[in-house]
Amino acid sequence: MRLTSLLDHPFRDAYAAKFGALPGATQAWIDGLRQTARGILNTSGLPGPRVEAWKFTGLGDVVKIPFLPSSSAEDIDVREIPLGVPHIPGARRIVLVNGVLSAELSDAVNDPPGLRIGTLKHYLAREPQILKPILGGLASSGSYPMAALNTAYMSDGLVILADKNFPGSTLHIISIGAAGADPVAFHPRHIITLAAGAQLNVIETHIGLPGQSYLSNPLTEISVGENATLKRYVMVAEDNDAFHLSTAAVALAAHGTFEAFHLVVGGGKVRQEVAVAMNGAGATCRINGLYALTGKQHHDLTTVIDHAVGHGTSSQLVKGVVDGQSHGVFQGRIHVAKDAQKTDARQLHKALFLSKGPEVDCKPELEIFADDVQCAHGAATGEMDPNHLFYLMARGIDADTARAMLVSGFLEDAIATISDELVRAAFSDLVQSWLKRRAA
């Protein structure tokens, strides 16, 4: 019998005792969301190999690990920000340990006027009406299996609210994963809203303590208002024993802009799903990314861009290099709704093999219901172009140096899509140090 779902997952029983203690338990609407999510988990389980969107990322190994809720691991004690976290000049650092805000490690500064940052717990207790329209509204448990898991067990997270015409600020959210003696799981829930005309840069670094096994299952719901611009740059450098399964659901209003970059240089099994609903006319969405995998690493970037109305523009460039026995996956669906005329949607995925042994799977998908559109996707996998190599060698550059230059160039081409200069420089450094580690 082929598996359609993984009903026997470790979250069924380990968490049962915690339900009453989860934040918002006394509020009917939150309780309702959790009940629905648990219902879905109980009947559908975690996605198995026959769930189309999870075809290339199996969770057979995840369900075998008895993850404990991270709050029950008493011995987690993180005193400093790990090495490997990029320095972004001028960015305010907000540190989470297993999804819980660490005031001690975070920069102690006041929120600038027009920007409010707080914890999910705080907002659930004090101002739930702010969360109501978004929480569970953008990422429903029925649409995303990991959203169901997150909603059922979310215990905290960040709420970031930018007021109308907020002129801009750069936040660096450093999410540290740590386990004690036993593997743990955490399900942070973040809400980011930008009112009309607001600007915000959010950098997320997901990093783990070495040798520790944990499951990070963050879910971020993002609302970008009219003419607002959110730039979200995500760097995943989890430990090789860590699982990272994240979901981000974005709603874009008219003429809003969402720019994302996903850089993956670490993690045992990483799957990132980003779904963008382009609800307002004239919106712009850019999702670019880069993965560099070695050993037995697995990475899956799944994007869904829904052009619900016309005159929207979306572009995606995702590049990957794979070494060892790693496994790279890119799935990208572009949906253009009926009457979403004048849509311009483009997508390109390229993967470069650095050795014998890795696997790359790609599923770009166009789903078009409007005729006056320009939509295109491309995908290419293979080894280095011998013509490129020859050109460099014909200029006197030796083969090893030429290869290194070409791999670097292949990756930098993706990095170049990052519009924020400081982040571009920082991410470029991360790529270069990945290349140096590999060469060493």
Partner 1 sequence: MALIEIKNLHVSVQGKDILKGISLTINAGEVHAIMGPNGTGKSTLSNVIAGREGYEVTQGSVSFDGQDLLAMPPDARARAGVFLAFQYPVEIPGVSTSAFLKTAINAKRRTEGKPEIDAMEFLKLVKAKNKALGIPDDMIKRPLNVGFSGGEKKRAEVLQMTLLEPRFAVLDETDSGLDIDALKIVSDGVNALRGPTRAFLVITHYQRLLNYIVPDYVHVMAGGRIVKSGGKELAYELEAEGYTKYLAAA
Partner 2 sequence: MAATAKTVETVRDVEAYKYGFVTDIESDLAPKGLSEEIVRFISAKKNEPKWMLEWRLKAYRYWLTLADEEPTWAKLHFPKIDYQDSYYYAAPKQKVGPKSLDEVDPQLLETYKKLGIPLLEQQILSGVAVDAVFDSVSVATTYKKKLNELGVIFCPISEAVQKHPELVQKYLCSVVPVGDNFYVALNSAVFTDGSFVYIPKGLRCPMELSTYFRINEKNTGQFERTLIIADEGSYVSYLEGCTAPQRDENQLHAAVVELIALDNAEIKYSTVQNWYPGDKDGKGGIYNFVTKRGACRGKNSKIMWTQVETGSAITWKYPSCILQGDGSVGEFYSVAITNNHQQADTGTKMIHIGKNTRSKIISKGISAGKSSNTYRGLVRIQGKADGARNYTKCDSLLIGSTCGAHTVPYIENRSPTAQTEHEATTSKIGEDQLFYCMQRGMTQEEAVSLIVNGFCKEVLQTLPMEFAVEAQKLVGVSLEGGVG
Question: Least Å distance between CB 201 and partner 1?
Answer: 24
Q: Is 399 in the site for partner 2 (CB under 8 A)?
A: no
Structure tokens at 189: 């829930």
Question: Least Å distance between CB 328 and partner 1?
Answer: 18
Neighbours of 154 (CB within 10 A): 29
Using the minimum distance from each CB to partner 2, give the nearer residue, 280 or 332.
Answer: 332
Structure tokens at 356: 């014998």
Q: Binding partner of residue 402 among partner 2, partner 1, none, CB under 5 to 8 Å per kind?
A: partner 1
For partner 1, which residue of 32, 133, 167, 409 counts as binding (CB under 8 A)?
409
Q: For partner 2, which stretch binds (CB under 8 A), given 72-80, 129-137, 359-367, 421-429? A: 359-367
4 φ, ψ (degrees, to nearest 5): -105, -25
**Who's near 369: CB < 8 A, 6+ residues apart?**
336, 337, 338, 340
Q: Is 163 in the site for partner 2 (CB under 8 A)?
A: no
Question: Least Å distance between CB 406 and partner 1?
Answer: 7
- CA atoms within 13 Å, Cβ hemisphere of 304: 16
Specify the 3-state DSSP secondary structure of 421.
Answer: helix
Q: Is 375 in the site for partner 1 (CB under 8 A)?
A: no
Using the minimum distance from each CB to partner 1, give the nearer residue, 160 or 348.
Answer: 348
For partner 1, which residue of 399, 433, 436, 437 counts as binding (CB under 8 A)?
399
Q: Is 52 in the site for partner 2 (CB under 8 A)?
A: yes
Amino acid at 389: L
Using the minimum distance from each CB to partner 2, give the nearer residue, 165 or 325.
Answer: 325
Q: Binding partner of residue 399 among partner 2, partner 1, none, CB under 5 to 8 Å per kind?
A: partner 1
Q: For partner 2, which stretch binds (CB under 8 A), given 28-36, 85-93, 207-215, 377-385? A: 377-385
Q: Binding partner of residue 140 among partner 1, partner 2, none, CB under 5 to 8 Å per kind?
A: none
Structure tokens at 117: 């940052």
Radius of gyration of the chain (CA): 21
Using the minimum distance from each CB to partner 1, give the nearer residue, 67 or 330.
Answer: 330
Residue with tokens 């338990």: 25
8 Å CB contact between 220 and 249: yes
Structure tokens at 285: 């969405």
- CA 304, CA 275: separation in Å to the nearest integer? 5
Question: Least Å distance between CB 387 and partner 2?
Answer: 13
- CA 409, CA 380: separation in Å to the nearest integer? 16
Using the 8-state DSSP alphabet, how is residue 270 labeled? E
Q: Binding partner of residue 20 among partner 2, partner 1, none, CB under 5 to 8 Å per kind?
A: none
Q: Binding partner of residue 387 among partner 2, partner 1, none, CB under 5 to 8 Å per kind?
A: partner 1
| 84: exposed, middle or buried (Cβ count in 10 Å: 0-12, 13-18, 19+) | middle
Q: Binding partner of residue 365 among partner 1, partner 2, none, CB under 5 to 8 Å per kind?
A: partner 2
For partner 2, which residue of 14, 130, 281, 368 counts as binding (CB under 8 A)?
368
β strands within 163-268, DSSP E: 170-177, 184-186, 189-194, 199-208, 214-216, 219-224, 229-237, 243-252, 257-266
Which residues contribute to the site for partner 1 (CB under 8 A)?
Answer: 385-388, 390-399, 401-402, 405-406, 408-414, 416
Which residues contribute to the site for partner 2 (CB under 8 A)?
Answer: 52, 338-339, 341, 351, 353-383
